[in-house]
Amino acid sequence: MSNILDTISLQMKQRYSVRYGEMGYNIRTLGWGTVEQQQYRFAQTIDMVDLTGASVLDIGCGFGDYADFLRDHGVDYQSYLGIDINQDLLQEAGYRHAEKERNAFKQFNLSTDSCEEPMADVGIMLGVLNMHLKDQMDNYEYTALMIKKALKLVRKALIVDFLSSQLTPEYPREDFVFYHEPGRMLDLSFQMSSNVKMKHDYLPIPQKEFMILIGKE
C-alpha cells in the first residue's frame, strides 16, 4: 500500500510542478477552469459551516487562494494553515501571503505523513480526490483512506468536495477524473460520524459537484 501511495503522490507532485513551470501563478495550474468558478466553489463552504473564530486547515491548498477568499468575504477566522505536497505551489503561496500574520503554509503529504495532534478546528479539502487512479488503486478505497486521515487533522469538522456521478448533460465525461456516487459517499461519511451534511444543489462549475461536511462534535 505504501508504495502505491508514494507513486500516486509523486505523480501529483509532478503534474502540478509541470503546470506551474508552464503557467506560473494561474488558476489553470491548479486544474480549475476560471477564478469565478473557484470563488463560487469556495462560497459553498461558508454556506455549510461558520468559520468565525475558527482555525482553518486548507488541505491541498495550492496557492492559498482560500485564505484570500475568507479575507475578501469578511470571514473573521482565527488562523489559516495551508498544507500541500508540492513545494513549488507552497513557495508561491508563501510569497503571496508573506505579510499576512494569520496565514501559514507547510509541506505535508496527507497520504503518508502523520500528525499527533489536530492542526485546526475545521478542515477544507477541495479538488484533492478528483484524479482517476484507474488500475493503480480503487478510487473509493483511496477516498476513504484520505478522509480518515484528514479527519485526524481537525478538531471539529471536515468539508470535502467531489465531482458527482450525476453528470451535467452539457459537459462531456472526462476519462482522467473520477466521479463519486453521492449516495455512496454519504454512506461512507455516516460510518465515520453521525453528524453529516451534504450539499448537492449548487450550479455545475462546469461539472456537477457536491460537498460533504463530516462533524466530529
Per residue in 159-177, pLDDT tens? 999 999 999 988 889 999 9
Rounded to an integer, the average pLDDT of 48-75 is 97
Quick one: CA dihedral 133, 138, 142, 143, positive or negative? positive
Say if domain 2-215 classifies as CATH 3.40.50.150: yes
**Range with the largest mean pLDDT of 24-38, 149-163, 164-178:** 149-163
Rounded to an integer, the average pLDDT of 28-36 is 91
Q: Distance between CA atoms of 82 and 129, rounded to whole angstroms? A: 17
Query: Residue 156 has which C-alpha cell?
Result: 471539529
The residue ranges of every structural domain in the chain are 2-215
Per residue in 96-149, pLDDT tens? 987 777 899 999 999 999 888 999 999 999 999 999 999 999 999 999 999 999
Instruction: Give SS3 for 145.
Output: helix
Query: Residue 15 has which C-alpha cell?
Result: 503534474
Are 158 and 123 in contact by the 8 Å Cβ rule? The answer is yes
Q: Distance between CA atoms of 89 and 84, rounded to whole angstroms? A: 8
By CB neighbour count within 10 A (0-12 exposed, 13-18 middle, 19+ buried), where does 60 fall? buried
Rounded to an integer, the average pLDDT of 24-39 is 92
Choice between 67 and 114, residue whose per-residue pLDDT is larger: 67
pLDDT, position 99: 72
pLDDT, position 33: 87
